[in-house]
Protein backbone atom coordinates (compact mmCIF):
# COMPACT_ATOMS: atom_id res chain seq x y z
CA UNK A 1 0.00 0.00 0.00
CA UNK A 2 1.38 3.37 -0.95
CA UNK A 3 1.62 6.23 1.57
CA UNK A 4 -1.04 8.10 -0.43
CA UNK A 5 -3.44 5.13 -0.34
CA UNK A 6 -2.93 4.83 3.42
CA UNK A 7 -3.46 8.56 3.97
CA UNK A 8 -6.69 8.36 1.94
CA UNK A 9 -7.93 5.49 4.11
CA UNK A 10 -7.02 7.31 7.33
CA UNK A 11 -8.77 10.50 6.21
CA UNK A 12 -11.92 8.59 5.23
CA UNK A 13 -11.92 6.66 8.53
CA UNK A 14 -11.72 9.87 10.59
CA UNK A 15 -14.44 11.57 8.52
CA UNK A 16 -16.67 8.50 8.86
CA UNK A 17 -16.06 8.31 12.62
CA UNK A 18 -17.09 11.95 12.97
CA UNK A 19 -20.26 11.33 10.95
CA UNK A 20 -21.13 8.36 13.17
CA UNK A 21 -20.53 10.38 16.35
CA UNK A 22 -22.76 13.17 15.05
CA UNK A 23 -25.50 10.78 13.92
CA UNK A 24 -25.59 8.93 17.25
CA UNK A 25 -25.22 11.95 19.55
CA UNK A 26 -28.92 12.12 20.38
CA UNK A 27 -29.32 8.37 20.75
CA UNK A 28 -26.32 7.75 23.00
CA UNK A 29 -26.31 10.79 25.26
CA UNK A 30 -28.40 11.69 28.26
CA UNK A 31 -29.85 15.16 28.66
CA UNK A 32 -27.47 16.75 26.20
CA UNK A 33 -24.33 15.38 27.87
CA UNK A 34 -22.37 13.48 25.21
CA UNK A 35 -20.79 11.43 28.00
CA UNK A 36 -24.04 10.94 29.93
CA UNK A 37 -24.52 7.27 29.17
CA UNK A 38 -21.07 6.39 30.50
CA UNK A 39 -21.72 8.42 33.64
CA UNK A 40 -25.05 6.68 34.09
CA UNK A 41 -23.51 3.25 33.50
CA UNK A 42 -20.84 4.06 36.11
CA UNK A 43 -23.52 4.84 38.70
CA UNK A 44 -24.90 1.31 38.33
CA UNK A 45 -21.81 -0.28 39.92
CA UNK A 46 -20.16 0.82 43.14
CA UNK A 47 -16.66 2.15 42.51
CA UNK A 48 -17.16 2.34 38.75
CA UNK A 49 -16.07 5.45 36.87
CA UNK A 50 -17.31 6.68 33.49
CA UNK A 51 -13.93 5.73 32.01
CA UNK A 52 -14.18 2.17 33.38
CA UNK A 53 -17.76 1.87 32.12
CA UNK A 54 -16.64 2.96 28.66
CA UNK A 55 -13.69 0.55 28.64
CA UNK A 56 -16.08 -2.26 29.57
CA UNK A 57 -18.16 -1.45 26.50
CA UNK A 58 -15.02 -1.15 24.37
CA UNK A 59 -13.92 -4.64 25.42
CA UNK A 60 -16.99 -6.06 23.69
CA UNK A 61 -15.85 -4.45 20.43
CA UNK A 62 -12.32 -5.78 20.86
CA UNK A 63 -13.56 -9.32 21.50
CA UNK A 64 -15.53 -9.20 18.26
CA UNK A 65 -12.49 -7.86 16.40
CA UNK A 66 -10.32 -10.63 17.88
CA UNK A 67 -12.89 -13.23 16.82
CA UNK A 68 -12.65 -11.85 13.29
CA UNK A 69 -8.83 -11.71 13.29
CA UNK A 70 -8.57 -15.22 14.72
CA UNK A 71 -10.93 -16.53 12.04
CA UNK A 72 -13.58 -17.55 14.56
CA UNK A 73 -16.35 -15.73 12.74
CA UNK A 74 -17.15 -15.49 9.04
CA UNK A 75 -15.85 -12.48 7.14
CA UNK A 76 -18.56 -9.81 6.96
CA UNK A 77 -17.02 -6.48 6.00
CA UNK A 78 -20.02 -4.53 7.32
CA UNK A 79 -19.77 -6.09 10.77
CA UNK A 80 -16.02 -5.65 11.13
CA UNK A 81 -16.20 -2.07 9.87
CA UNK A 82 -18.81 -1.29 12.50
CA UNK A 83 -16.64 -2.78 15.28
CA UNK A 84 -13.57 -0.83 14.11
CA UNK A 85 -15.44 2.48 13.76
CA UNK A 86 -17.13 1.98 17.13
CA UNK A 87 -13.77 1.19 18.77
CA UNK A 88 -12.20 4.36 17.39
CA UNK A 89 -15.18 6.38 18.56
CA UNK A 90 -15.05 4.82 22.03
CA UNK A 91 -11.42 5.97 22.24
CA UNK A 92 -12.45 9.50 21.24
CA UNK A 93 -15.14 9.40 23.92
CA UNK A 94 -12.57 8.11 26.44
CA UNK A 95 -10.35 11.07 25.59
CA UNK A 96 -13.34 13.36 26.25
CA UNK A 97 -13.97 11.69 29.63
CA UNK A 98 -10.32 12.07 30.63
CA UNK A 99 -10.23 15.71 29.52
CA UNK A 100 -13.46 16.49 31.38
CA UNK A 101 -12.08 14.86 34.54
CA UNK A 102 -8.98 17.07 34.24
CA UNK A 103 -11.04 20.24 33.89
CA UNK A 104 -10.46 20.89 30.20
CA UNK A 105 -12.46 23.79 28.76
CA UNK A 106 -13.54 24.45 25.19
CA UNK A 107 -11.14 26.63 23.28
CA UNK A 108 -8.02 25.22 24.92
CA UNK A 109 -5.72 22.66 23.33
CA UNK A 110 -6.32 19.01 24.10
CA UNK A 111 -2.78 18.08 23.16
CA UNK A 112 0.10 17.68 25.51
CA UNK A 113 3.21 15.60 26.09
CA UNK A 114 3.03 12.95 23.39
CA UNK A 115 1.40 15.04 20.69
CA UNK A 116 3.60 18.08 21.29
CA UNK A 117 6.66 15.84 20.80
CA UNK A 118 5.44 14.95 17.30
CA UNK A 119 5.86 18.51 16.07
CA UNK A 120 3.78 20.05 13.33
CA UNK A 121 1.43 17.56 11.71
CA UNK A 122 -1.08 17.75 8.91
CA UNK A 123 -4.54 17.75 10.48
CA UNK A 124 -7.90 16.91 9.01
CA UNK A 125 -9.54 20.31 9.22
CA UNK A 126 -12.61 20.81 11.39
CA UNK A 127 -14.34 22.35 8.36
CA UNK A 128 -13.83 19.14 6.40
CA UNK A 129 -15.12 17.07 9.32
CA UNK A 130 -18.18 19.30 9.71
CA UNK A 131 -18.92 19.10 5.98
CA UNK A 132 -19.03 15.32 6.27
CA UNK A 133 -21.81 15.34 8.86
Q: Give the pLDDT of residue 105.
A: 81
What's the chain look like in SS3? CCHHHHHHHHHHHHHHHHHHHHHHCCCCCECCECCHHHHHHHHCCCCCCHHHHHHHHHHHHHHHHHHHHCCCCCCCHHHHHHHHHHHHHHHHHHHHHHHHHCCCCCCCCCCCHHHHHHCCCCCCCHHHHHHHC
User: 73-82, 92-101, 106-115: lowest mean pLDDT where?
Assistant: 106-115
pTM of the model: 0.81
- Most confident of the following: 41-45, 116-120, 127-131: 41-45
Amino acid sequence: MTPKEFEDIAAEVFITCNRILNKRKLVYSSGGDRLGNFKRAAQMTKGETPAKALVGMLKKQFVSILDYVDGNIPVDMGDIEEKIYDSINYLVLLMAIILEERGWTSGTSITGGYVSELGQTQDVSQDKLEQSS
